[in-house]
Every structure is written in C-alpha cells, then in structure tokens.
C-alpha cells in the first residue's frame, strides 16, 4: 500500500478593502497603465484595523475545513507559511490553533517568503507520509502591506494581503495515484540582497521594509521556476503534456507567461489571479488554488502543478493529483 497526502479541501480569505491601481495612483507616483503593462496587476486587497496575518489565516482555515467536511479537532498539524507574522514569536500558527479551538496539535510557522506555501506543503506531506500526522492544515497568510515602503513605487504597487489554506489527509491505496506525487525545494542564500527586509529583531530591533532589485529577481525567477518544474515532473515520471493546471506563484503576469512558454504549456492551463490579488507572497498559491477549485476549473482527478519562487532565494514545485 502507498500512503499519500490527499487534498481534502481548500479555503481563502481577503481583507475587506480592495485597492485599484487608480486609487493607488492618488498617493503613489504611478499609473494604472504602467502597473498593468509591467505586471498585469489591476487590484490588491489591503488589511485594515483588526485584520492580521493570523485572522486572515483563521478565516481561510475555517473555509478549508468546511470544504473538507472536517471539524477543527480533526486536525493534528498546522503549518503556517508567512513572512509577516502577528508577533516575532510565538508562531502565528499557534494563534490560528487557538482561534480554531484546537486544544492540542503540532503548530509552527515556516519562513520561506513567497515559496513558503510550497515549503509548508512539502513538510506537511513528509510528516503525513511518515505517519507523524494524519490531517494537516497548511496555510499561507500575509499582510505585506505592513512591510512595504509606500514611498518606493517600484515595490509598493506589486504586493497585496490575503490568505489561502488547504487540508491534507493521509490515504493509503494500491496505486498511489492520488494526492501529492512529488515535490522539490531549493534555496540559494547568496542572493539575500536582491529581495529582503531591511530590519529584524536580531539586527535593527525593527520590523523593517521590503527592498527588491526587481529586474534581477525577474531573471532568476524565470530560470529557476522552469528548472524546478522540469525536475518535479521528472520525479513524478510525468511530462508537461500531462499537466491539467499550473497554479503558479502570482508575482507578475510576465513571469507566468514566460514560465508557461518554457514548458510549452498553453496559457489557458495556467491559473492567473495576479490581476485581482497582486503578489500575496506565501498566500498566492493557495489563494489561486482555492479560486480555481471553487469556480470549477480544477476537478477531481486533475493533475495540478504548484510552483513558487521568492526571497532567499527560495523556490520549489509540487505535483498533485486532486
């Protein structure tokens, strides 16, 4: 028998306030035309008073549990991917655990920035396959609006807030054809200075602001994503022609197009939400997955490939049969 992590449900949450490019252009020296042409972004959500990484994560988790038909107490593992936790410690995952009313389970955060959800999913999958967990909540949740330099037009227009969650459950079968079939992660810490936050508890004792060399990040992203996608498809013994849906990290429409082209994947097989959510970092992949599950594009039996790349650099990909 083969033990795999099966996708049981998805959920997502967005802050109430939506901010269009036109609204942003009232306070930032930019234009709707520039943002759409360079990034494909038209809209983003910005967290307001009382909306935090943990509250958004909790909402997304509740939706995912409802979709899975499970109660919070059925969960024995929560992994929350975030670079913008409510507090330096404890982990935001423990706030979600308390908000969901779970008395005891394993709960921790993963910090891999935009690849955080792929990292969290891979760790949860390993724990499920090893028998250390049975049912896991894997969440990506971010409030990047709180670490943006709103005077830096080259970065502040690119990001938004939100959360996405999935419930994974252990399942044994003869053929092992469903669930997470393969995952591959990478990191290359030499590129710290291309995408980072200029503060932290152990250095400046401040939270800091996001800094990025956009063009260099862009170049690395296209190369690394195409390469890890090939790797993970090989691990799963599949080819890009087998992919029903690519659910990529939503950083920039041009990166999505370039990645799809490299894989010779038709653009109508790529789930795109960057236009409405902007880059929500660790939340972007589970948010996009939830959108495509709920609107019926992704159906049971579909082969779905997830990928992301972010600060570190970190990057990864995962092949999943829904």
Ligand X SMILES: CC(C)(COP(=O)(O)OP(=O)(O)OC[C@H]1O[C@@H](n2cnc3c(N)ncnc32)[C@H](O)[C@@H]1OP(=O)(O)O)[C@@H](O)C(=O)NCCC(=O)NCCS
Catalytic residues: 114, 249, 279
- Comparing CB distances to ligand X, the nearer of 56 and 156 is 156
For ligand X, the binding residues in 166-185 under the rule CB under 6 A are: none
Residue pointed to by tokens 């929350």: 80
Assess 34 for contact with ligand X (CB under 6 A).
Answer: yes
160 binds ligand X per the rule CB under 6 A: no
Q: Nearer Cβ to ligand X, position 151 or 234? A: 151
Question: By C-beta, is 203 or 215 nearer to ligand X?
Answer: 215
Q: Is 252 in the site for ligand X (CB under 6 A)?
A: yes
Interactions with ligand X, residue window 138-157 (CB under 6 A) = 153-154, 157
User: Diameter of the chain by CA atoms?
Assistant: 60
Residues 199 to 218: which contact ligand X by CB under 6 A?
Answer: 212, 214-215, 217-218
Structure tokens at 110: 């993963």
* Spatial CB neighbours of 8, under 8 Å, sequence gap ≥ 6: 67, 68, 69, 70, 135, 166, 167, 168, 169
Q: By CB under 6 A, name the one of 169, 310, 312, 316 that touches ligand X.
A: 310
Q: Should residue 126 be labelled a site residue for ligand X when binding is judged by CB under 6 A? A: no
Residues 6+ apart with CB under 8 A from 188: 312, 313
Q: Is 32 among the residues that bind ligand X (CB under 6 A)?
A: no
Instruction: Give which of 221, 107, 209, 201 is closest to 155, Cα–Cα.
Output: 209
Residue 64 or 251 having the CB closest to ligand X = 251
In angstroms, give the least distance from the CB of 78 to ligand X: 24
Q: Helices 92-100 and 53-68: crossing angle, nearest 10°?
A: 50
| Of residues 179 and 311, the one with the C-beta less far from ligand X | 311
Q: Which of residues 46-105 bind ligand X (CB under 6 A)?
A: none
Q: Which residues of 286-304 are buried (b: 16+ CB within 10 A; e: fewer)?
A: bbbbbbbbeeeebeeeebb
Contact status: 38 vs ligand X (CB under 6 A): yes
Question: Residue of minimal CB distance from ligand X?
Answer: 214
Smallest distance, ligand X to C-beta of residue 144, A: 10
CA 21 – CA 28 distance, rounded (Å): 10
Q: How far apart are CA 231 and CA 67, in angstroms?
A: 31
Q: How far is the CB of 218 from ligand X (least distance, A)?
A: 4
CB 309 within 8 A of CB 315: yes
39 makes contact with ligand X (CB under 6 A): yes
Tell me: does residue 230 bind ligand X (CB under 6 A). no
26 binds ligand X (CB under 6 A): no
Tokens of 244: 């029903």
In the region spanning residues 257 to 286, those forming contacts with ligand X, defined by CB under 6 A, are 279
Residue whose entry in the numeric block shows the structure tokens 């092949």 = 319
Does residue 245 contact residue 292 with C-beta atoms inside 8 Å? yes
Give just the sign of the alpha carbon dihedral 282, 283, 284, 286: positive
Q: Shortest distance, CB of residue 33 to ligand X, whole angstroms?
A: 9
What residues make contact with ligand X under the rule CB under 6 A? 30, 34-35, 38-39, 114, 153-154, 157, 212, 214-215, 217-218, 221, 251-252, 279, 309-310
């Amino acid at each position: 028998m083969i033990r795999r992590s099966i996708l049981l449900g998805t959920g997502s949450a967005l802050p109430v306030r939506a901010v269009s490019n036109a609204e942003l252009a009232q306070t930032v020296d930019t234009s709707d035309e520039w943002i759409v042409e360079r990034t494909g972004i038209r809209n983003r959500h910005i967290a307001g008073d009382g909306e935090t990484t943990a509250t958004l994560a909790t909402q997304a988790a509740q939706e995912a549990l409802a979709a899975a038909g499970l109660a919070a107490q059925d969960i024995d593992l929560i992994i929350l991917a975030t670079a913008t936790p409510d507090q330096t410690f404890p982990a935001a995952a423990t706030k979600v655990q308390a908000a969901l009313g779970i008395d005891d389970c394993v709960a921790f955060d993963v910090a891999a920035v935009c690849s955080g959800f792929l990292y969290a999913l891979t760790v949860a999958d390993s724990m499920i396959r090893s028998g250390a967990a049975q049912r896991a909540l894997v969440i990506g949740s971010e409030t990047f609006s709180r670490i943006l330099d709103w005077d830096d037009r080259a970065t502040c227009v690119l990001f938004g807030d939100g959360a996405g969650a999935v419930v994974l459950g252990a399942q044994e079968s003869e053929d092992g054809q469903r669930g997470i079939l393969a995952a591959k992660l990478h990191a290359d810490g030499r590129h710290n200075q291309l995408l980072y936050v200029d503060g932290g508890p152990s250095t400046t004792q401040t939270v800091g602001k996001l800094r990025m060399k956009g063009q260099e990040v862009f170049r690395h992203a296209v190369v690394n994503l195409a390469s890890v996608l090939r790797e993970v498809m090989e691990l799963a013994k599949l080819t890009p022609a087998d992919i029903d849906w690519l659910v990529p990290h939503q950083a920039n429409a041009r990166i999505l197009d370039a990645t799809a082209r490299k894989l010779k994947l038709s653009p109508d097989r790529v789930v795109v939400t960057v236009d409405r959510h902007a880059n929500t970092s660790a939340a972007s992949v589970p948010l996009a997955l939830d959108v495509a599950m709920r609107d019926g594009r992704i159906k049971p039996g579909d082969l779905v490939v997830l990928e992301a790349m972010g600060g570190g650099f970190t990057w990864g990909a995962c092949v999943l049969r829904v």
